[in-house]
Amino acid sequence: MGTKLIIGTSGYSYEDWRGAFYPETLSRNEFLTYYAGEFNGVELNFTYYSMPGRRTIERMVEFTPEEFSFSVKANKLFTHVRDETALEAVPSFLAGLAPLLESGKLSALLFQFPYSFHYNKETRVYLKKLIGSFRDRGLTGTSIAVEFRNTDWLKASVIDTFKKENLTLVEVDLPELKGLPLPDDTVTSDTGYIRFHGRNKSNWWKGDNVSRYDYLYTREELSRWKSLISRMTKHVKILLIFFNNHHKGKAVLNARMLKKMLD
């Protein structure tokens, strides 16, 4: 059996996608069902801002096909606040995600660390504690994926540890700026993960969470990923690819473009 390929977007419930993707008159409650009619997976990012509620997640499971896949972004408590209260919140966060775990629709739990999360003894200890806290509470059948936004962590010792622990290192497409990772095909577990954030250099450091990701990839830019993706699929059971350039539906356009290119 070949690699299962999941291509979608980071988030789906955007009002500015009306007209660009969703019909103007479509009820917001129907967004996910409509989205799942075209894509086979989504990366939930509302969980970064608020703790997931069980009933909300149950409805997401109900509104999507059996083979549909969810990747979930960990709450900012775990990746940006990073204190003892974060570790205490692990049980409640997992309780909210229980319907995804029970249905087998949770493909990955994503920890997106900021650029300021540099490689040092303190951060290494925290990361080990954090992952241990989730695994101690039963998160073993789902891939734990970690995204680093700086090059500090991209060293052989970290990659070796990820392979040993079966942790997924997320590959990213970002603007070519000093200190940011470049496209790569490193695989550290049986799950591959790629996130496209756009290449908006001018707004990357000073923009907000809309303007920073306001970017439309060209076909040529995406085509350069084909060989990397091909190599990654040789080593994984599932490859998750999500576009985070969500402004006015650009993520949808690029996800469609990549799907067609890979087909």
Cβ(262)–Cβ(225) under 8 Å?
no
Euclidean distance between CA atoms 7 and 81, whole angstroms: 30
Euclidean distance between CA atoms 65 and 63, whole angstroms: 7
Q: pLDDT band at 208, cuts 50/70/90?
A: confident
Per-residue pLDDT tens digits for 254-263: 999 999 999 8
Cβ(79)–Cβ(113) under 8 Å?
yes
Number of domains in the chain: 1
Helix (H, G, I), strand (E, B) or coil at 195: strand
Q: What strand order describes the sheet that includes 171-173?
A: 4-9, 238-243, 191-196, 171-173
- The token duo for 17 is 């996608």
Per-residue pLDDT tens digits for 154-207: 999 999 999 999 999 999 999 999 999 999 999 999 999 999 999 999 999 988
What is the pTM for the complete model shown?
Answer: 0.97
Please, which residues bridge with residue 246 across strands? none
Euclidean distance between CA atoms 131 and 111, whole angstroms: 10
| Average pLDDT of the residues in 203-217 | 91
| Average pLDDT of the residues in 207-228 | 93
**Of 44, 137, 126, nearest in space to 81 by CA:** 126
Phi/psi at 87 (5° precision):
-65, -30
**Of 132, 140, 189, nearest in space to 161 by CA:** 189
- The token duo for 29 is 């409650």
Beta-carbon contacts of residue 158 (< 8 Å; ≥ 6 apart):
119, 169
Q: Sign of torsion, CA 189 194 199 202? A: negative
Helix (H, G, I), strand (E, B) or coil at 185: coil
Whichever domain contains 100, its CATH number is 3.20.20.410
Domain around 142: 4-262
Residue 1 pLDDT > 60, yes or no?
no
